[in-house]
Structure 1
């Protein structure tokens, strides 16, 4: 598959090293993160990053007309180049009757030029405390009711020219020996795929945002995204789903359980208790239990729809569905996403189960993963690898989750045993895309703090898909 827009955007953010700089997730939304575009904060999750989705309006659409608009500052063009090559191979040993190997490699990259357009704080002063329109758009009324926070784009890195992202992937296998009871010999094969994506000039690769505060029918843009948290609509309690008795039980258990006094090696500092792996495990368990309470028919519709989207490898469809749910737009949508919206409109779930929230949970987990991982997840479902992968990912997260430094670890042989040949390559591909350095013939690796979020999202995605696939 090609070097995706999502990969390129994340890499651009790393190269620019700008504080509070965020990548644009999907190419189809790359023109909706320009200066003054308004973004809505998504529902927060324990281990997944907060997403910011465009609402389709700019700041200028909601302010009183005929206001002076500050001129953006434009930087000199910045040239960025990146080449990627990854290779994984595994030896086969099937009951001592056949040997060989499987593997895949992929390459890709980009050669681009970006330019920053920004409105620094001194220029934003001309927009501070401006009156809003008397008739506000519907989305703002919904945000006020639900206590959703809004933000405005104040800096955007845009492509200065049309660009093509290219990528090549190769799959290969060889088997030699007794292939089955009737056949003795050897087999070889190779599968190659080359793709490209055209990214037009003006597409936003990365952006910065600042929060909006609406009070007394005026608009204020906060100078910093940090500091004390404020609500966009002060005085309106932030929307939270109905409390669940299990939530309070887990909160008490984590605070008072027998592990609260665990002693770590001298000199080691672990992250706060609420960031312990047990919190993530309990949260995922609670959500999958709620999934299990849905009717078999609903689970099958949700599962088949997500599997279709994963097989297509189209991140834009997943992102579009997430946006529609976050913005409460349950209208028309084609394809498998439309089938999920149909289920939501006729939702017959038990009253204590929020089907939309469950779907959003899976969507937010999937959006943390790369395009390559989405495709590998589809293959994992088809090869029925999910239970083994859940156990393997859990075995990595559980001992390392709370430590903010690099720690060597060894994968447990009994967990690798069921993953043979192509299944092992697919699984290692999922782990390596999270940021772990994996070698197929060496079970040792190193925990990297940057891998924590994608591994957590992978754990949640695998758990959800496993539950749905067994419906």
Structure 2
């Protein structure tokens, strides 16, 4: 995970824990998520590890008929954070053998982040709605209508008040010292420093609301949405039927308990399980080659999404030409790619190592047991760990497992044994649970 991602996610936890404020993942995209920008939600998006959005290079104003421009977004308040970015480090393995996940990232004590929230004023939106209709013939709208996409409008952002350079000094993230981690590229320098400069007005997080198109040129942005609502009215789209996604307004219902996540993951693994034996083996081979290469995983995700948009059949590079992917299997693979890309590259490499050592089932039981017991727990606490969960692991396998879950924020201590639960780690542990479920299915395929 980049330093920018750590910054935006820590900020989002501070301002809006478990809410609908979305952290921006990439610094290069900050200009594309200002108020009124139009964005798309990733297919197979889930709020268990965070809905993800992609920019479109268009704003709501671009697709409306010419007319007056709305007033500038209003300032909803300023906040200053001193050392708040010390909240998280991804993990480090101390010499000689134990994993220790600390609550500090060793960030420079000189880093102060001052941000403000800007939101579209209700009166400005109401005036815009009354005075400017939709440009029904706009090429972008035509394309989105044909593909049956849902469009979302950025309505509120959290941005920097002044340019600021944030520095991190100390041990590198994922700095593993054990010899068997070295081949994975996880052995880093003890003296590590990193800095990122955020310009003034840099968007760090945002909120969206769904755009609704009624008829040819009427539009609206309702306050509340549900999974049945579509930007374009049913019957108007010409492309493939889109996947249902989870809306932010439904997050509390969806997160009722761990069973909701478990059932969701099981549905998707069943779809992958419908692939032939050759297909599953080839998918495992492809993922094994891509894990630890986050950009390549993201490129595969984009390729599959593009194929679904156009109704094309797709074969993975490692998949034989006579084993095409159905729409349903592509959707399931997209679901798991979304989970895997949430994990750091170090975790992805550790997953490959875990497959080689055949300890995925143990790791899956550990994560599943932890989530089942603590899914609704909103306070940090230390709990005993059942010795049976880890009793089958040797020293090397145990350290590898501690590192894997530790990079998601779950601190396991051999003394006891016990673990520390932090509710902020829930999204990353959910993503790890999904990734482990897929890889175990593929690794155990006959």
Quick check: TM above 0.5? Answer: yes
Contact 1:88 1:425 in 2 (8 A): no
TM-score (structure 2 length as normaliser):
0.73
Partner of 2:189: 192
Partner of 2:29: 29
Offset, 1:439: 2.2
Contact 2:158 2:205 in 1 (8 A): yes
TM-score (structure 1 length as normaliser):
0.70
Offset, 1:389: 0.7
Partner of 1:377: 351
Pair member with larger Rg: 1
Contact 1:376 1:430 in 2 (8 A): yes
Partner of 1:70: 71
Task: Tell me, yes or no, if structure 1 residue 218 matches structure 2 residue 217.
Answer: yes
Partner of 1:336: none
Task: Tell me, yes or no, if structure 1 residue 157 matches structure 2 residue 158.
Answer: yes
Partner of 2:40: 40
Instruction: Give the whole-Å Cα distance in 2 for the aligned partners of 1:27 and 1:470.
Output: 39
Cα deviation 1:106-142 (Å, max 9, x = unaligned): 744473443444322222223215222242335x445
Structure 2: where are the runs of 5+ without partners? 181-186, 245-251
Cα deviation 1:411-432 (Å, max 9, x = unaligned): 2322212334343334234434
Cα deviation 1:292-323 (Å, max 9, x = unaligned): 443455445543443444323x3x55445445
Alignment of 1:134-283 (within 5 A): 134-138=136-140, 140-141=141-142, 143-144=144-145, 147-159=148-160, 160-161=162-163, 163=165, 166=168, 168-169=171-172, 170-173=175-178, 191-192=188-189, 194=192, 196=194, 198-201=196-199, 202-222=201-221, 224-225=223-224, 230-236=229-235, 239=241, 275=256, 277-283=258-264
Taking a change above 3 Å as real, the CA distance of residues 87 and 149 of structure 1, as seen in their structure-2 partners, is closer
Specify which of 306, 313, 318 is matched with residue 287 of structure 2. Answer: 306
Instruction: Give the whole-Å Cα distance in 1 for the aligned partners of 2:350 and 2:8.
Output: 21
Contact 1:4 1:165 in 2 (8 A): no
Instruction: Give the whole-Å Cα distance in 2 for the aligned partners of 1:72 and 1:272.
Output: 31
Offset, 1:454: 3.1
Offset, 1:228: 9.8
Structure 1 range deviating more: 76-85 or 47-56: 76-85
Contact 1:214 1:232 in 2 (8 A): yes
Alignment of 1:67-466 (within 5 A): 67-74=68-75, 78-80=79-81, 81=83, 82-83=85-86, 84=88, 101-103=97-99, 107-109=105-107, 111=111, 112-129=113-130, 130-138=132-140, 140-141=141-142, 143-144=144-145, 147-159=148-160, 160-161=162-163, 163=165, 166=168, 168-169=171-172, 170-173=175-178, 191-192=188-189, 194=192, 196=194, 198-201=196-199, 202-222=201-221, 224-225=223-224, 230-236=229-235, 239=241, 275=256, 277-295=258-276, 298-312=279-293, 314=294, 317-319=296-298, 321-323=300-302, 325-326=304-305, 328=307, 348-349=323-324, 354-369=328-343, 373-381=347-355, 383-401=357-375, 409-445=383-419, 447=421, 449-466=423-440
Length, aligned pairs only? 409
Taking a change above 3 Å as real, the CA distance of residues 422 and 215 of structure 1, as seen in their structure-2 partners, is same
Instruction: Give the whole-Å Cα distance in 1 for the aligned partners of 2:227 and 2:254.
Output: 22
Query: What value does the CA root-mean-square deviation take over the aligned residues?
Result: 4.3
Offset, 1:367: 4.2
Offset, 1:9: 0.8
Offset, 1:435: 4.4
Taking a change above 3 Å as real, the CA distance of residues 324 and 125 of structure 1, as seen in their structure-2 partners, is farther
Taking a change above 3 Å as real, the CA distance of residues 411 and 421 of structure 1, as seen in their structure-2 partners, is same
Offset, 1:209: 1.4
SS at match of 2:398: helix
Cα deviation 1:333-372 (Å, max 9, x = unaligned): xxxxxx9766799683475x62321221112222444565
Give the structure with the higher percent strand. Answer: 1
Offset, 1:162: 5.9
SS at match of 1:131: coil
Instruction: Give the whole-Å Cα distance in 2 for the aligned partners of 1:86 and 1:454.
Output: 11
Offset, 1:241: 6.3
Offset, 1:462: 0.7
Instruction: Give the whole-Å Cα distance in 2 for the aligned partners of 1:301 and 1:228.
Output: 34
Contact 2:342 2:431 in 1 (8 A): yes
SS at match of 1:441: coil
Contact 1:49 1:368 in 2 (8 A): no
Instruction: Give the whole-Å Cα distance in 1 for the aligned partners of 2:89 and 2:261.
Output: 33
Taking a change above 3 Å as real, the CA distance of residues 345 and 452 of structure 1, as seen in their structure-2 partners, is same
Taking a change above 3 Å as real, the CA distance of residues 417 and 30 of structure 1, as seen in their structure-2 partners, is farther
Structure 1 range deviating more: 360-369 or 110-119: 110-119
